[in-house]
Amino acid sequence: MNPLLQEFSTPYETAPFSKIKNEHFKPAFEKAIELAKAEIAAITNNSEAPNFKNTTEALENSGKTLDRISSIFFNLNSAETNDAIQKIAQEVSPLLSQFSNDIRLNETLFERVKSVYDSKSNLNLNDEETMLLEKQYKGFSRNGANLKGKDREVLREIDMKLSKLSLQFGENSLAETNAFELHITDRNQLKGLPEGALEAAKQTAQQKEKEGWLFTLDYPSYIPFMTYLDNRGLRKDMAIAFGKKAFQGNEFDNQEIVKEIVALRQQRAQLLGYDTHAHYVLEERMAETPETVLNFSHELLNKAKPAAEKEFKELSEFAKKDGINDLQKWDGAYYSEKLKKELFDFDEEAIKPYFKLENVLKGAFTVANKLFGLQFEEVFDIDKYHEDVTTYKVTDENNEYVAIFYADFFPREGKRNGAWMTSYKGQSIKNGINSRPHISNVCNFTKPTETKPSLLTFNEVTTLFHEFGHGLHGMLANTTYSSLSGTSVSWDFVELPSQIFENWCYEEDVLKIFAKHYETGEIIPMQLINKIKDAATFLEGMQTLRQLSFGLLDMSWHSQTNIDVNSITVKEFEQASFSETQLYPDVQENCMSTSFSHIFQGGYSAGYYSYKWAEVLDADAFEYFKQEGIFNKEIGSKFKNTVLSQGGTQKPMNLYVAFRGKKPNSDALLKRAGLL
């Protein structure tokens, strides 16, 4: 019996991870595709005239088994992968591309959808039904339904190639991350490193049966190394290793893959009648056009650049006191930390003991309780895909079941770097039954050691709150249709719930709830809270410039009509793109694009700007909470009901205005960042 093809007779219909074996996946995918095809055939063969119920809703409700299997499999491929899973991913991705193209290019199905769409003004649909119909119609038209003959086959081929290339890109990046180790046996070379980082490196070495200390390119190892290690030569080695991932001319090199992805995306966009991939993507975003994004980015760039250049000069002058006359990228984090300590008497390591992971998570739970009435109870009867995962049942103020929440916080070999939120089961309402979601937060924080629990830097605290904000967007989803539920919103709106939630980390009333010393239980002293707040805008100009540089690199790859990828190198193209945002000297051995997984593996192509875009939204929205009280139940309820629960049922600007009462204004962000 293949567990993936049975009803899950588990608590809350959670995935039965312990029963699922690698060999179950491919047959399950094949069977689920067959079932989904039969559901599509039932729609196209229906002799009744097309209407909202027998076409629009029937299509929305098709393929649910396939969706469920896909979410389980591809989440595992990110959080707990291995060679077998990666091989299956390469085998099933073309099958899924082919299936989705079979639907998109099914002329009979499109004619039925178009028939309903053309008569929508007579159907008396509500906002959500209208949005579903419009999204469905665009899903066809934006994916080639209006193409004829050979063009359809070309599109199929492009989509299949792109799905394989993005998988290969990710596998290469992960392989390069896992391949690098810096093994140190002389303790004198590690001066400056905090005890926690040393202990973690020793533990990593022991796991690999080595003496001394082992450092990797995983963030919990890499970041403290670059921030605190006195040995400049080793920092340089580590920085260059990090920056040349998949840029080494070896079997894991991503340069040709980047060029091929860019060329195929451009070809695809033009085949569908768009100038560029960015024009294609942005049509369905809050920003709507590449011009809007570029104007927005350059407006912020003009305001941030003078501050960034001033900050860089101050940092360079500060490093000169240490005999460093040529500030390099591998010096940035190290001297920033030292300067921050001097200016604010602020030491990241001194505050870490107040941020025990379990306490920070409980703090996030408490804020969610105060704002939205949610309660989180750890449960032990839910199957997990790894022993590090913890599971929670989420209920509301009436003790009604809301969601299942998985928390997966520590790095391991089969897990990609970074932090993300995802879902194992979506939310929808059918036949009066509200099927609730299963949401997961995945991060890479330092593991507990024999002597210390997992202690977070303040940056990691904000990361946890950020991903938990995404999680709340998923957990509080309350729409009829799963394709419009939770985080199924414009990519430049999806970061609002996550980024606004970070704001609570800086509030004294919140820090007093969870920032307690892991040994003494002492609440974080007020002077440290003030230092956190004072240091919050430290080097904000440089940080803004860095984020804008990533967004502009993304737009450079995707918004130009005349890129000839055969006449450029990835490195040269990148250097040209970074010219207006560059502060540090270039490192010839390094290239960002080859491991820029957000845009070449994730869904952020022509969308990386959305982090800054959403910062404008979140600063403006949090100002409303500050005016009315950061735990104001009424404003919390309003945010839940107009933004978090609504998913993509309306245009994002309409949802934002329904909450805020006005359109957003960038002044709140510039004020918060100290750039006004």
Nearest-angstrom CA–CA distance, 636 and 472 = 12
Q: What phi and psi values does residue 197 have, to the nearest 5 degrees?
A: -70, -40
Give the active site residues: 467
Nearest-angstrom CA–CA distance, 538 and 543 = 9
For residue 377, list its beta bridge partners.
393
Alpha carbon 86 to its chain centroid, in Å, reads: 21
Q: How far is CA 354 from CA 348, 363, 636, in A?
A: 11, 12, 27
Residue type, 428: S
Full 3-state SS string of 555-617: HHHHCCCCCCHHHCCHHHHHHHHHCCCCCCCCCCCCCCHHHCHHHHCCCCCCCCCHHHHHHHH
Nearest-angstrom CA–CA distance, 453 and 435 = 37
Nearest-angstrom CA–CA distance, 233 and 330 = 9
Give yes or no for a contact between 254 and 246, defined as CB atoms under 8 angstroms apart. Answer: yes
- Structure tokens, 434: 């509200």
Three-state DSSP at 630 gives coil
The Cα angle at residue 590 between residues 589 and 593, in degrees rounded to 5:
140
The residue among 87, 76, 246 whose CA lies nearest residue 173 is: 246
Provide the 8-state DSSP code for 98.
Answer: H
- The Cβ-side half-sphere exposure at 500, using a 13 Å CA radius, reads 31
The residue among 629, 624, 642, 627 whose CA lies nearest residue 371 is: 629
Give yes or no for a contact between 401 and 421, defined as CB atoms under 8 angstroms apart. Answer: no
Give yes or no for a contact between 541 and 547, defined as CB atoms under 8 angstroms apart. Answer: no
Kindly give, in sequence order, each residue whose CB lies less than 8 Å from that of residue 383, ignoring residues fewer than 6 positions away. 10, 14, 15, 16, 17, 18, 19
- Structure tokens, 55: 């076409």
318 burial via Cβ count (<10 Å: 0-12, 13-18, 19+):
middle
Full 3-state SS string of 505-556: HHCHHHHHHHCECCCCCCECCHHHHHHHHHHCCCCHHHHHHHHHHHHHHHHH
Give yes or no for a contact between 173 and 245, defined as CB atoms under 8 angstroms apart. Answer: yes
Q: Is the dihedral of CA 611, 613, 619, 620 positive or negative?
A: negative
Query: What is the CB neighbour count within 10 angstroms for residue 256?
Result: 12
